[in-house]
Each structure stands twice: as structure tokens, then as C-alpha cells.
Structure 1
Amino acid sequence: MDRLDHIQPADAVSLLDVTDMSQLRAIFESRVYNLDQRTVYFPIRHHSPACSHHLLRVIREYKPDLILIEGPESGNSLIPVLTDEKTLPPVSLYYTYEDEYGREACYYPMLRYSPEYVALKEAHRLGIPAQFIDLDYRHVSRRAGSSAEQEQKEISIQDETLLAGSAFISRLCQKTNCRSFDELWEKVFEIGGLEKTTSEFVQDVFMYCTLSRMCYTQERLIASGDLLREAHMARRIKEAEEQYQRVLVITGGFHTYGLVTSTGQEVEQEKEKSTPQVKADSGEAQQQMYPMVYTFAEADRLNGYASGMPYVNFYDQIWDQLVHSAKSPYRVTTLNVISRLMRKLRDREEHVSTSDAIEAYRLIQGLAELRGKQEGGVYELMDAALSSLVKGELTIATDKPLQELQLLLTGDAIGSVAPHAFHIPIVEDFKSRCTAFKLQIRTTGQHKKVLDLYAKPEHRLISQLFQCISYLVPEFAKRQAGPDWIAQRDMNLVRETWEYMYSSRIEARLIENSLYGGTLATAATRKMEEQMQDIPDHHSGDLAQLMLQALLMGLQETALHLYAKVRAALRTDGHFLSLCNSLTILNRIHQHRRLLGLSDDPYLPELVSEAYSNAVDKLQQLSRTHADEHEGIVQGLKLLAMLAESSEERFQNTSFRTHLNELLSDPKLPAQLEGVCIAIASGLGDRRREEIVERARGYIRGGPVQMRQTALFLQGVFTVARDAFLYEDQLLFELNGLIEQLSYDDFIAMVPELRLAFTYFTPMETNLIAERVAKLHHVNSNEMLIPALDEQLLVQYKTQDEALRKEFAAWKLI
């Protein structure tokens, strides 16, 4: 099927209720594409090389006085930036607005071969004025779904969902054996369209898009905002006709029929009747539009972008061939892609040969002929690669050639925008700092950076930059390995590993953060100040963590401003765990003060001392705490004990020991906390070592309730003093006696807590305990290594034993 004429009119009539196909052709010839008229309409599919190819012919032949383009009107002031020689697509206009309903944003991307961009560049070259004539997004925004869904959705005003998803297109794909609208479009327009005259090509685009449009009701087109946009564009076209003799109008093909047949009056009437899902300009709104970089990956429709064509890099190469008037552009491009694919696969030691490549190229040509195409396109290329390069069944292990092909077809290019008066300072600061540290922001894909924090000052600065950007734009970089200061994990590591990836989404998020300041540091500081206001005054731990985060970002001045807030919070914070969290953070900051840029700070030691004293003063609360808090309290007590044992003078007071002894005298002290307290007190020399065993004996030989608390008491002891069990026999004897006297059900109930208690021992220590247990029971230690019998087998043996006993009893044999 090379021409729309090959579609049977009866099929279209039955499907769409179109009364006369000739009527559409008459509209096309008289009102759409008549070069003798004052206004010529050129319908397009967004980001189509074939459309751009024929568009250049139309501009040369028609010689318009003005070119009108479907695009947001607020972007007209940015056209000189887009047409500047230093602007290299892919680029995008980023539009954002905020009104009483909330905040929304959308993208208006342009590739090198997008018809809109080609028209702008050609108009600039010829000195022809060009204008965008479409409504800004806020006038047609559909606030459907939750706000969370809206925030996560990347919106494009060039949405082609209605075109690609119409019943007409679906039926046509079935009749032509095309797997998707994209494959149908490539066959009829991208490849087949190169052999047609421009008039034939434009007619086919108009007819396809119009028949798709006729699948939808008036209400559906109003709800989508299409009719409102068309009414606005029609007014702009009429205004242009009053000033210019020859006007060329470039819009999506879905809108062309509406522009040439609708007066716009009925649209306004229907809009007044309908529920205002589609809004006109109602009330004040703050709006901004910026030119920004874009990427091939983001422009690829397969990645979720709502308009345009997939396989962006492939069609960019096709455009190169068309610009240079190359014959057989698809043959040349598919051959180039196969060659590059083979090199990449060989570099990755995939088993491919030259004969595989020859076979793939031969298959492309054969499939093209079989499918009625002049040349093989991207779909023939993918089918040929699947057949020739994937050996056997397609699995995760064998799909590497297809993965690499997908990357080649999509591409990793990032555009650049010429210097302009609309630049955003925070974006410029981001780019200059990334460039200074040689971070890769000129190509897409994941990049890795390993930083030696302690040995290289420059690496510390890069780490601060990553921390700062991640605070503002979490999507940019992720720490994959290294010390996690906030979660307090892996603090023994000295290297950080970061993975980062740049895209237009990063730039968009930076633009949103420009409300906070013109540099990364200023924006992070103001955002942190805003976050600080949401933290209650007595939450010292949260404020201390914020202070640590500021230091990790290199915002030492911001951290210093937090000192007073942290000190005030320490004095009003009455929660032991919160104070211990503050103490942990502040003490870690003090220990790594040189790395964090606070080597000469005189106030930090005072803050650590105050946090320590306040935490010690809250020890009396521990008898009334919930079991869920006990694990955190144990860690807090260990921290206080460690500081009390240190040589630093500010921790050398008797308060901690005094309060600890008072706790041990409290009969309501939970068992786990009693275990850790007696272990700490004996370690400090304030209590006899034997008291650990005596208190354990009190649980082991106590009543049923006390006996069940034994494992929790041991957990507390083993947290601090494993040696009390490793090298002294008395506690082992007592625990052995407990296990011997327990019933089966009581033992099973206690096993989980006992297992948890013994997780504090290393494997070597566990082996030592096993040897002592073997000696206690007068068996060889090797017998302890014999695997236990399966429980089901034991039950089976027990059942058989009982049956035998009954049988013997019946025969009076026992």
C-alpha cells in the first residue's frame, strides 16, 4: 500500500461514517494545499524526517511571507535562541506555571529533523518571520488523577495519542499486517513518501490524520483540548492573513481539518456547556518558559514520551542522508547501523561473525521486498538482527545483540543551547561546576565516579557537589558505595562510589529549584532553611542530622548557623533516644571535623558535651520505655559507656555511673536493659563481675515470667560483655541447667530469643562455646558437628515407637 487511494473507500465509510471520500479530497485541493491561495496548510507528524524533507520543498516553492507553527505562543521570544547557530538539537522549551489549582509543567522538544525546528531554521536562513500560534499548556491542562500522578508524569503538548490510537489506524494496521502505527507510518510515509511528489505526500498525511480524527466525537475533542487549541490557532491565522499575502501554516495533521472547516464559534459554545475539564484563562497564574537541552533517550516515544517517533538516532541518520540528497538513504543507514553494531558486539566479546552481518543485511532487503517497501527500514533491521544475530531461542542470556541494537537506534546525544538572556543562573552554576570537575554531562547513560575522600582534597569537593545536587535533584546521582553518614553505615570505608546521569529532567528540576537561589549552594541553603522550619524545636536529632547534611554538602556557614538551634533543641529535648541520636551525630562530626572543614571550630566540643550531659540526665526514663525502643536504647547506652571510658576530660564525670547504678536498683528495669547496664557497670569497675551471673541466676531460677525473660537479659549482656560467657563457666552452667529443666514447649518458645542472643558471637567464638558445651556433657566436640535429625523424621520414629509399645503391651511383652 503506497497510496491512500489503495484503501477501499467502503472500509473507511463503514468504519468512520464518512459520506464521501471525494469531499475530503476537494477540501484538501481547495483549502489545504493550494499554492495559489493566500494560506497554505502543511499537516505533519511531529518529529518526522519525511515531513521535514517535503516541508523544505514547499517553503522553496511557495515562498511564504510568514510561517505559522503549532507551538506555545509564550515561546515566541525564544525563537532567536532556537535558531542560533550555537543551539544544537535535541533541545526543548520547558514551560511551567502555577495557579490556584497547583503547579504543572510540560516539554516542547525539537530534534534536528522535527518539522517545526526545520521550519524555524529555514525561516531564519531566508529572513522570513516565523511565529508559534498555539495556546500555552495551562489553558488546556487536564488535571485528572491525583497530584502525585501529575508530578511524576512527563507531559508533552505534542501528544499524538488520539492519532496513533484511533480505530481507523487500528483497522489499517490489521489490513496491512503492520504491528504498530509506527511501522505503518514508516512504510507509507517515511520510506514510501520519499518516492511521492510533495502534493501526493501532503494529501496522504492529511487524509490519514483526518480519518483518524473522525473516529472521535465532538465531546471527546473538546475534553482533550484539541478544539479549544484549534479555535485559538484559527484566530491567529486569520490575523496573519490580514497582514501578509502568503502564509504557511504548519500544524499536526490531526488539527488541519479542524483549522480549515471550523469557525471556532461552536467550540466556544460547547466549551461553555461542558464541564470545565478544559480551562480557559481563569485567574492569575505565574508562568515561565525556558530553552533547555534535551536528549535522544527522552525524545524516544518508546521511553514514554507521548509524541513523535521511536528510534530517534536512526531517523537522525536518515535525516543526514536526506539533507545530503543521498540515494537510498535507508539502505545506507541500515548498513551503517549493522557495522556499528558488529563492532560493539565484538568489543564485548559476543560471538558474531562477518557472515552474520552479511546475512542480516541480505534479510533486510528481502523483508523489504516481501513487505512491499522500496527499502528496508528500522523494523526490517530489527527483524533481521533477531534472525541473524540471536542464535537459537531468545532469552536473557542471548538478547545482548538486540539490547545493543536498541541503544544504537535510540542514541545517547544531548543537545546544547546557545548563550542567551533567558539563562537560569542555577543551571549555569551546575554546568560550570560539573565541567570544572570533568563530570560527564554531554552524553546520556550512567557514569561512575570513585572518590578517595581522605587522600585527595579535590575528591572531597566533588563529593560535596554530588551531595548538594542530590539534595536538590535526587535523580542526578546515587551513592553506590562508601560511608553513609546519614544512615551511619559503612563508616570504616574511605572511598565513595557515585553513579550519575544527566538529562533534561535534571535541568528541569534545577529550574524548579531556581526559586531558592541562583547557585547550588544558595538554593540548598534556602531549601534547608525552609526544611528547618518544619522541624519541631525539641527534635534535636533531626536538627543535628540537618547540620551534618549541610557539612556534607560543603555548606559550613549554614552548619554554623544551625549551632544555636541544635543547642536550644538539646535543652528542650526530653527523649533519651533523640538525645543519643544527636550525640552520635555530633560526636561523629567532631571526630571527622577536618574532613568536614571544621578543624578550628571551638563551639563543636561544647555542643558534644551538652548532648552527652543531657542524654545522661534522661537515664532514669529507661524503666518506663516500650520494648520497641530497647534496641535503640542499648546502642545509646553503649555510646555513653564508650565516651565515659574515653580519655577526654569533658566525659570524665560521675553522673553516668551514678545514674547507671540507680537504674540497676530499679526493679522495673526491663531485662534486656538490665543486662546491658550490669555489663557496662562491671566493665567500668563499679560492679562485681559475679553480679552478672547472680542476676542471670535470678531470671533462670525465678518464676515462669522471670524465666522467660532470661534470653532478653542475655541479649543485653552479650551486647557489651561477651567474655562473661566465653571464658567463665558459671554462666554457662546456669544456662545449661535452664535448658535441661525446660519443658519441650517452653524450650521451643524461648529458642528465637536465645538464637538472637547468640548472634552477637563471631563464628570462631561460637565454635569455642560448642567445645565447652561438649566438655560439659562429656562428649567429643566433633559430635557437635553431626547434623541434627530432620524433625519430620523424628516425629515418624516417635509414632512408630509408640505403635510398637502398644503392640508389645497387648501381647504382654513389656
Structure 2
Amino acid sequence: MGSVLQREEMDQINRLVEQEVYDLAKQVVYFPIRHHSPACAFHLQKTIAEYEPQIILIEGPDNSNHLIPILTAEQTKPPVSIYYAYASGEKKYVCYFPFLTYSPEYVALVEAKRREIPAAFIDLGYGSRLESMEDGHDLKKQNQKLSYHDERMLAGSQFIARLCETMRCRNFDELWERVFEVEGIRKPTREFVKDVFAYCYLSRKCYDDATLEAEGDLIREAHMRQKIAEAKAKYQKILVVTGGFHTYGLLESRKTAYKIQKVKDEKIYPMVYTYQEADQLNGYASGMPYVHYYETVWNAMGKKEQTPFSKSALSYLAQLVKRLREKGEIVSTADAIEAYSLISGLAVMREKSEGGAYELQDSVLSAFTKGERSIATAKPIETLRELMTGEGIGEVAPNDLDVPIVRDFKETCKAFKLTITTTGRNQKVLELYAKRSHREASRFLHCVHFLGTEFCTKEAGPDWLNDKYVNLVRETWRYSYSSYVEARLIEASVYGGTVKEAAAQKLEEMMKELPQHQSHMLAKWLLMAVVMGLEKLGERLFAAVVSAVREDGHFLSLCKTLKTLSILHEQRRLFGLTDTARLESLVDEVYYQAVAKISELSSPNPDECPEIAEQFKFLYMISEQKQAEASRDIFLDQLETLLAVPTLPAMLEGAAAAILCNLGALERGEISVRARAYMFGTPEKMQHTAAYLHGVFLVGRDYLFDDDSILSDLNQMIIRLDYDSFLQLVPQLRLAFAFFGPMEISMLAEKVGALFETTAEEMTAPAVAEPVLQRARLLDDRIRGEFARWNLI
């Protein structure tokens, strides 16, 4: 029964191919393809030459037809892509329709132009496709990038899985290469078409209508049938090029009417693409993998090479040896010769005319790795896959649809000598203080990074926003261009026509979402605007900061604002600020506002105490920089008022007392007196000793060296502690002493050594192991016993 069913199935396929699909005498000829297949493109060229169609209809969103002249222009160099984006509610959807030089769709477009006949896309638009599907469908739920060439249904069918198992192929791609690429280019075109249609037809039969409808296939095919019917009324010879999975669907006559939801304001742009993104292995499910390898095969086919796969393999082995040597790997020419020989042997074993991509990889794995594959030996096969995928990037011909922000980005990159013609990672080191052009490049890179393009990342340099590494004078950036960067720029075009305008508008919108009283966040955005060189926005932000400061009643927020404004004032030359009088006036105003809040901190949130103590130190440093005595006096008055509060947290007491001692408002001995009150107070108060010392050492570590009594009293306190209390206090004490540097720790060791009548060297010597101590104690007891027996002690 199985063989009868098989024969009936094949008879049906043969009848369909001969009468419906590939009858060159009929008005409509269907050419089934797999996306990015050189063999399909090869036979498609033959079909076009033999059939001489009057129009070529291609599977692709029909709202993209206006881009065909751009895609086929001489200046356009694949890989390129059409970018689609639309919003539905709060969600955004994006999609890519990539073209390679050997993509059958692209070959069809180029052939149509060469023959001066029309070509048109006939598929449903991306937005309309999703909106017309059921709301619960997975594709509609996904808020991520998709390729229009999604072959999950074809590659994932039960038929293909069983066939891979029968033919001992690792996956669908290896099966496809074996049957259609290596052997397919040697078959007559009619037989090749029949084989492609048969595989796709049998894969499609693995799914019921409900699944096909849920995936959106039926509504797309209904739309394409309608477009074909419209073409039949105008043309006598029509060639239809679609994915093989849909060919049978175009032959079916279904009476079901589908309601298509048209999408307005869908963004459609031509854009560059990369080999890496077009590669199926990178997660886009967009057709054939190893795109650069198959492009090499396609070029060899164009040169009428009799063995294009063998020719390509030889080229890649030579490149592999060269690349591995550049990476410092030790490889020999003999390894490449052995690998080339293995390719032929593997091809014979697998009943192939030539060795393809998988024979090339297997031969390299065997000849270059020479044993079990591990991290240490994986370099050859990883490098080969990099070569087979490719690092190139395409080029789109100049056009009126060119997005202004993308054009501005590319022109600016060219001006700053940033390489965007390859997908490799590049480095740019900027001398911020020495060269004005480098400061401008830094501003540009900060803008691009802020827009979320993932074009660049700062690896080293001053971090103004977090007040780190501000003493550095260079910035080091890593950057890499790809179609993803271009897509993100297109999305950012809603903010402005240039990178600078978009960054300014985006920052301004983020600013509007902040509560008015959070002056520190507005000050941070002001600093960011200055770093990005957004002068006009900086003016508006400055006014907003002034207004927010006068409404901000939170001490910590005001201190953060003051720190940010201080950075702006200190680096005014680097940032190119000219009118600094207003900035100096605002710094003074924020300083007084923050200091005025100190006396209100008698009962702060315990979790905020460390940060408040840090801000005390910061305000102390600012007060020392101010020449006016009034600014110092108000700071002293506020600290004295706060220190008089009996319930003041220990950490704040230590910081305030240390600052007042530094300013001469308290005797230096007061530090020790207050410390002793904690160390020899109640058990509860004793537990706050570390917090008090933490506050003192935060401001002045020298107190520990000027007054030996602190260390002596601390030793007496530790002696009095029970074991559990000691364990509870040790982590806090370690944190308090974390401020001391290596030199200070050495000095501290000497003081502790003197306290115990020993030396710092002995104290820092490696600890004696406990078993050794036990044996020494046992020996000591025996000696003492022997001495006692002889009355020697």
C-alpha cells in the first residue's frame, strides 16, 4: 500500500509540474525556489532566457515595488535589504527582506531590468500580513526582528526530518546542498524544478489547513493569486518566482475570502545589509547559510567553472592558512593539501560529484585539528566559518528615499575617518584635550551611543556622568557598522533628521518624564547634553535645572546636582563653555541650598547614612575651595547644630566631628573623646563604634596616627568583647578601615606592633598552622615537666 501511495503521490507531482507549474507553452510559469540558493538562481536565469517572459512576478511585499529601480541600480552592491517597520499600539514591529548577489529574487530583478521588462512584488505587505492574521498568533506576539524569508515550515516538516535521517544528513541545509546545489546544477532545468517542487510539495502536505492559516500562508497566497490574475489580463507570458513552499498554494483554487487589514504609515526603506546578518545560522532563518561561501560558488558558476565547489574549496583553504597564521596559529601548507584531498574522498563516500560546504568543514576539522575538538583546537574550524560567512557590507545607490539621519551619519563617519565599509570591529582613540576634531568626534560618538544604535562602545576614558576616571585625557572607542545600526538609525529618525537633532529631541522627551523636583537627574541630562555637544538643548536644560533646584528639598539630590554642576565648571574649557558666570552663580546657589539642609538630617533613613556622610565630605571640599568666609561659616554653623543632636547616627557624628576639627571649630582630642564614649559605653552603643570610626576615617584618616589613644582604646574594647559580639562587629570594623592605603596599612601595623611589643614584620608574617602549634604546645608542656622533675624551674 505504501508503494502504491508513493507512486500516486509522484504521479500527482509529475502531472502538476508538466501541466501547471513548468509548462513553458502556458501563459503562467511558476518557478519554485529556496531563498539564497545559487542553484535556483542558476536555473532561473536559464528559464528566463528560454521562456522570455513579458513580466516577472516575485514573492515579496507589494508595497515595496517603488524600490525596485533602487535595488537594481548599478551603484547598489548586495548584500542589501528592504527594511519594514510599523507600530501597532505600544508595540513596534520590524522586518528585513535581504538580497544577495545570488538570491533568486535579486537575479530575477536584475534580469528583468537587463531585458527591459517589468518586475513586481506580489506578496502581502509586512504590516498588513501581521495585522490580517489572528491576534493570538505567535508572529504577531513577537516584538523582534524577523526576516521575510522565514523557512521554518519547509525545514521543520516531518518529511524533511525523515529524509535527513534516511540520507544520513545532519540537517536540512546539508540535505539541500547535496541534492540541489552540488547535483542540481548538473541537472536539466525541468528536472531541477520538478525536484524542488516535489520536496516543497511533500513538506507542505505535512501541515493541515489550520496550521497554514495560522502561519499566514493562506492569506498571503490568496493575495498573490489575485496579483497573478491581474497580470494575466495584461500579459501573455508571466513568470512567477516564489518560495517552493507556496508554489502549490498558488495552484489551488480556494473560495475562502480573506479580509486584509491595510497598515498605514508603514516605513519602507532600502538599506545596506551584511553577510553575517544574511547568514541563516545567525538566527534569522533567512535561507541558505554560509552566504559568502555560496557567493564564491556563484561567481565560479558565472565563470563557467566545471567544478565550482572544488574551486571554491581551494580558495578557502588558502585563505584559512593565511588567516590562521595572521592569528599566530602554527599551520602548514601540508595541512591544507591533506584537507583538499579529504574533500574529494568525502564527496565520493557521500555520493556527491563535488565536496561542498560540509565536506570542506569536515576536512578542516580532520586535517587541522588532528584529534579531539576542544577550546584550544577549535580555532581552525571557527576561522573557516568566519570566512564562509563573510565580513562584507553592501551599498545602496543614492536615492530620494535615503533617510536623512542615515545620510548624516555616514557623512559624519567619513569626516571623522570612522570605517563603516566592513563589519569588523574597529578602534578609535581620541585625544580630548589636544585636538578639537577629536572632541567633535567624541561628541558624535556619544550621540550615536545615546540613540541606542549599538554602533559604538566606550572602552576607556573619563566617565563624566558617574564622576569616574575624570583625570584621563583620552577616550578609546570600539565601533562596528552593520544593517542593525542602520535600522536603529531609521527608527531614531522620528526624533530628527540628523544624529545631533535626534539625540537632542530624544533627550528632551526623556527630560519631560522626570518629576520637577529631581534636580540631580536634570543636572545629569544637562551634563549629558554638554558631553554630546547639544548647545541649544543645554540652554533649555540649564533653565530647567535652575527651576528644579528651587523646588528640590532633598539634601542628597541637591548634593548630586552640585557635584554634576561642579564637573561642568571644572571642565568648562574641554566642554567649550563660554558663559560661565551663570554656571558659577548656580553652583553657589545649590551649595547654599544643600548646606541649609544639613541641620535637618538628625533622623535620616539609616540606609542613607553612608551616602550622607560622603556628601558631608564633598561639601567640605567645596567649602575649602570657596574664598568667601560666609560660605564656610554657614557650613560650620549647620554642622555644629547637627552635632549637638544627642540621637545623631554614629557615622554622621564621626564625619561631622572630623570636619569641624579640620576647620578648627573643635579640638582634635574631641575625636578620641567621642570614640571612647562609644567604645566603653553600653553594649548597644559599643556596636556603633565601627560606624563612628567609619565617619571619622572618611574625612581624615590621620586622626588614627596623631592620637595613639584611639588604637589603644579600640584594643581594650575588643579584649572586653565576648565571642558573638566580636563576630558581629568585625565586618563593620573592616569596612571602616577600608579607606587606608598600602602605605598607611604598613604604618598602622607598626603602631599595632608597638602596642603588643612586637614588630610589624612579625605581625605580617604567615600564620603558623594549627597542627604545628599543637605539637609545639605539647613539646613545651613536656619540657616544662622535665625541668620541674629536676627542679630547674
TM-score normalised per structure 2: 0.95
**Aligned-pair CA distance for 1:474:** 4.3
Partner of 2:219: 228
Change beyond 3 A, Cα 1:781–1:687: same
Residue 105 of structure 2 is aligned to residue 113 of structure 1: no
The code of the aligned residue for 1:532 comes to: M
Q: CA deviation at 1:448?
A: 1.1
Q: Relative to 1, partners in 2 of residues 1:659 and 1:793: Cα closer, same or farther, differing over 3 Å? A: farther
Deviations 1:51-104 (A, max 9, x none): 000000000000000100000011001100001000110000001112346321
Q: Tell me which residue corresponds to 1:50.
A: 39
Selected match of 1:587 from 539, 554, 566: 566
Shift in alpha-carbon separation, 1:13–1:484, aligned structure 2, 3 A: farther
Is the Cα–Cα contact under 8 Å of residues 75 and 289 in structure 1 kept in the other structure?
yes
SS of residue paired to 2:573: coil
Corresponding position of 1:332? 311
Partner of 2:157: 166
Question: Structure 1 residue runs of 4+, over 6 Å off?
Answer: 145-149, 790-799
State whether structure 2 residue 472 is matched by structure 1 residue 493.
yes
- What's the counterpart of residue 747 of structure 2? 768
Distance 1:511 1:791 in 2: 68
Residue among 504, 512, 515 paired with 2:491: 512
- Aligned match for 1:129, one of 94, 107, 118: 118
Within a 5 Å distance, the mapping from 1:389-468 to structure 2 comes to 389-468=368-447
Q: 8 Å contact 1:486–1:549 — kept in the other structure? A: yes
**CA separation in 1, counterparts of 2:640 and 2:272?**
66
Superposed displacement of residue 473, structure 1: 2.3
Distance 1:352 1:700, change over 3 A: same
Aligned equivalent of 1:33, options 22, 29, 49: 22
Q: Secondary structure at the match of 1:20?
A: helix
Deviation string 1:584-624 (CA, Å, 9 cap, x unpaired) is 00000100011111033321111111111111111123222
Decide whether the 8 Å contact of 1:609 with 1:650 is kept in 2.
Answer: no
* Matched residue, 1:87: 76
1:296 aligns with 2:275: yes
CA distance in 2, matches of 1:305, 1:374: 30
Query: How many Å separate the matches in 2 of 1:716 and 1:323?
Result: 78
3-state secondary structure, aligned to 1:318: helix
Matched-pair contact (CA < 8 Å) for 1:450–1:495:
yes
**Any unmatched runs of 5+ in structure 1?**
1-8, 272-279, 802-814
Change (3 A) 1:231 1:148: closer
- Letter matched to residue 126 of structure 1: R
Structure 1 residue 651: Cα displacement? 7.4
What letter corresponds to residue 477 of structure 1 in structure 2? C
Tell me the residue number matched to 1:150.
Answer: 142
The amino acid that maps onto 1:253 is G
What secondary structure does 1:478 align onto?
A: strand
> Is structure 2 residue 183 aligned with structure 1 residue 192?
yes
Identity rate, percent: 49
**How far 1:139 moved relative to its partner?**
2.3
Partner of 1:4: none
Give, in whole Å, the separation in 2 of the partners of 1:513 and 1:796: 75
Change (3 A) 1:225 1:542: same
- Alignment partner, residue 169 of structure 2: 178
1:632 maps onto 2:621 in alignment: no
Identify if the C-alpha distance between structure 1 residues 146 and 264 changes in structure 2 by more than 3 Å, giving closer, same or farther.
Answer: closer
Counterpart of 2:643 (choices 659, 664, 667) is: 664
C-alpha distance in 1 between matches for 2:105 and 2:243: 10
Change (3 A) 1:13 1:676: farther
TM-score by length of 1: 0.92
Aligned AA (1:159): D
1:137 to partner: Cα distance: 1.2
d(CA) in 2 for partners of 1:249, 1:796: 93
In structure 2, how many angstroms separate the alpha carbons of the residues matched to 1:238 and 1:123?
20
Select the residue among 248, 257, 271 that pairs with 2:239: 248
Aligned partners of 1:648 and 1:171: how far apart in 2?
85
Question: For each residue in 1:673-720, what CA deviation from the matched residue of structure 2 results, as whole angstroms up to 9, or x when unmatched?
Answer: 111111111111111100000110110111111100000100110111
Does residue 521 (structure 1) correspond to residue 500 (structure 2)? The answer is yes
Deviations 1:198-241 (A, max 9, x none): 00101000000010000011100000000110000001001111
Checking the alignment, whether the CA contact within 8 Å between 1:671 and 1:710 is kept in structure 2 is yes
Question: 1:483 maps to what in 2?
Answer: 462
Number of positions where the alignment pairs a residue of Structure 1 with one of Structure 2: 778
| SS class of match (2:146) | coil
Report the CA distance shift for 1:175/1:746 in structure 2 as closer, same or farther (over 3 A).
same
Identify the match of residue 259 of structure 1 among 242, 246, 250: 250
Counterparts of 2:746 and 2:630, CA distance in 1: 38
State how far apart, in whole Å, the 1-side matches of 2:730 and 2:580 are.
Answer: 51
> How large is the RMSD of aligned CA atoms in angstroms?
2.3
Distance in 2 (CA, whole Å) between partners of 1:223 and 1:205 is 24
In structure 2, what is the equivalent of residue 610 of structure 1? 589
Q: Is 1:322–2:313 an aligned residue pair?
A: no
Matched residue SS, 2:241? strand
Cα drift, residue 525 of structure 1: 1.1
Structure 2: distance between partners of 1:727 and 1:423:
71
Name the structure 1 match of 2:61.
72
- C-alpha contact (below 8 Å) 1:427/1:511 kept by paired residues: yes
Q: Deviations over 1:359-392 (max 9, x none)?
A: 0000011101110110011100000000011133
For 1:651 and 1:406, locate their aligned partners in 2 and report how far apart those are by CA, in whole Å. 70
1:727 is displaced (CA, Å) by 3.1
Name the SS of the counterpart of 1:654 in structure 2.
helix
1:681 corresponds, among 660, 663, 668, to: 660
Structure 2: distance between partners of 1:62 and 1:666: 97
Cα offset for 1:647? Answer: 4.3
Opposite residue 478 of structure 1, the aligned amino acid is: T
Q: Is the 8 A contact 2:127 2:263 kept in 1?
A: no
Q: Relative to 1, partners in 2 of residues 1:107 and 1:543: Cα closer, same or farther, differing over 3 Å?
A: same
Q: Partners in 2 of 1:762 and 1:581 — Cα distance?
A: 26
Cα distance change of structure 1 residues 219 and 738 upon mapping to structure 2, 3 Å threshold: same
The verdict on how the C-alpha distance between 1:190 and 1:650 changes in structure 2, with shifts beyond 3 A counting, is: farther
Offset, 1:765: 1.1
For 2:431, the aligned partner's letter is: D
1:679 partner SS: helix
5 Å matches for 1:735-754?
735-754=714-733
What letter corresponds to residue 172 of structure 1 in structure 2? L
> Which residue pairs with 1:204 in the alignment?
195
1:102 to 87, 91, 105: 91
Contact 1:643/1:651, CA 8 A, preserved across alignment: no
- Residues in 2 aligned to 1:101 and 1:722: alpha-carbon distance in whole angstroms: 55
After TM superposition, list the pairs within 5 Å mapping 1:6-21 onto structure 2.
Answer: 10=2, 13=5, 20-21=9-10
Give 1:3's aligned residue: none
Q: Sort the Cα spacing of 1:83 and 1:536 in 2 relative to 1 into closer, same or farther, 3 A.
A: same
One-letter code aligned to 2:142: Q
Unaligned runs of 5+ residues in structure 2 are 781-793
**Whole-Å Cα distance in 1 between the matches of residues 623 and 122 of structure 2?**
74
Q: Which shows bigger deviation, 580-589 or 395-404?
A: 395-404
Please say if residues 540 and 573 of structure 1, whose CA atoms lie closer than 8 Å, have aligned partners that are also in contact.
yes
Equivalent position SS for 1:40: strand
